[in-house]
Amino acid sequence: MTTTLATAPLDFDGCYRALAARDTRFDGQFVTTVLTTGIYCRPSCPARTPKPGNVRFELTAAAAAARGFRACRRCLPDATPGSPLWNVRADLVGRAMRLIADGVVDRDGVGGLAAALGYTERHISRVLSAELGAGTLALARTHRATSARMLLTGTNLPIGDVAFAAGFSSIRQFNDTIRELYDATPSGLRASRGRTGDPSTGDRITLRLPFRQPYDTAWTLYGLAAHAVDGLEHWDSTTFERTLRLPHCAASVRITIASDHVSAAFEHLDMRDLGAGVNRVRRLLDLDADPVAVDEALSRDRRLRPLVTAHPGIRIPGSVDGVETLIRVMMGQQVSVKAARTRIARLVAELGEPTGWPDEAGRPNRLFPTAAAIAEHGPAVLTGPARSIRSITAAAACAQQMELHPGVDASNLRADLMRLSGIGDWTADQVVMRLTGDPDVLTRRDLVIDRALADLGARPDDTRSWRPWRSYASMHLWRHRLAHLVDDPVAPRPLPRGTTP
């Protein structure tokens, strides 16, 4: 059994072997329900391994809860990275789970999820129930409970604030859900675990976001530092900070990557947006990836094996906002990274909405401009070739009607992008990979990738065996060509024209 469980139903023998070995690589990929105790656990739970006849396996905690099981308070099965399946799967289930994690159901109801996916509410619930063992509302409810447990055990927020921050509509609903899923009151759950991590104070809430190891931290930090735009983002050699446009209010997040988790400190946050903010940070840093499965698959190619061995756990860059990703990628076409940063910084300074927060030297204080602002005022602000300016403003105008969110179908998004003037294969591939998290994008017409393939003695046709992980292979190819740049992610050098990692 590989380390990614890609389809349902789950393979019982493979899951039981992972359970017996207490294999942490599978935490978050499935849960174990124990018939004799009525609880569900993560695969690495330290409790005595139950007999095969006494266990069943479910893809989601929601499915276990729907069958009447409660979460194990010893191993906390929801305190794990999210399942990598929802990026690997490009079908309706994967797309729906990405949007549920972003809080779409909590904000807009099941109808909002259906509208974003282009299917009826009934069809989506039927598909989710058949594939995952739980319907839309049950999945969203379990996601809220997971957020609440994280806040109860990891912060000192008042319990009432925790309820609404997690997305519950009432204290009673919150209490009932916690009792049902954890067999404890909210205050009892907090007392049993104590507080961990950096406590929240004043206007700041700090959370520990887990990920699966290994993690190529240097590559991720290099990408963040190299592209940090003044006013919108800031890198201070240890911490990356940026503003976020969230559903209810603007916020900022300071990100520090440790050996086994990411510390994310949110400020100016409307607590209703906490779930969305956490989800977007996880997507930006690709925290739900299964690096062992990726590395195992890519290492089978003798040409890639040395690259993977040298830098295990590489991640692909993600997105916190669809419009921002589209415009930034377009503005990075055919110019150096330094030039692109200068152009984007001017756009942010001229059209980005001021946050209104107190000015502090170097700290971000503007949001990325809206698509409407760029479409209307872009011609007066953007610099560069007239053709490029027309393409960017036209794309911004179209973006107001496009589906630019993690739940969009990757192939449909690519087709929509290719219809826009000024967008070719390179731009479309970059946007699709970053926005949807598609793990199988090998960027076409990329000078650095072409040179890296030549270095390895590989042809484009040889990359077919790298499926479904070609996005990660692309990062290794980039890292190979730019190895002398990423050793010191604090002070990246200018990159070649027309390219971007």
From 102, 273, 286, 446, active-site residue: 446
- CA separation for the pair 464, 443 (Å, rounded): 13
From 41, 45, 72, 75, active-site residue: 41
Contact 44, 24 (CB under 8 A): yes
The DSSP element (H or E) to which 31 belongs, if any, is strand 31-34
**Strand residues in 192-307 grouped as ranges (E):** 204-210, 233-235, 240-245, 250-257, 261-267
Q: What is the DSSP string of 328-389?
A: HHHHTTTS-HHHHHHHHHHHHHHHSPB--PPP-TT---BPPPPHHHHHHHHHHH--S-HHHH
Contacts of 211 (CB under 8 A, 6+ apart): 81, 260, 261, 262, 285, 287, 288, 289
Please report, for residues 230, 364, 464, the alpha-carbon distance to residue 361 in angstroms, rounded to integers and kept in the order given.
11, 9, 48
CA dihedral sign, ordered 374, 235, 321, 367? negative
Q: What is the DSSP string of 221-234?
A: HHHHHHTPPTTTEE
Half-sphere exposure of 342 (CA within 13 A, CB side): 8
Three-class DSSP category at 437? coil
Tokens coding 151: 């806040």
Tokens coding 378: 């872009």
Q: Is 446 a catalytic residue?
A: yes
Q: In 3D, which of 128, 122, 77 has the Cα closest to residue 99?
A: 128
Contact 40, 111 (CB under 8 A): no
**Where in the sequence numbering do the catalytic residues fall?**
41, 446
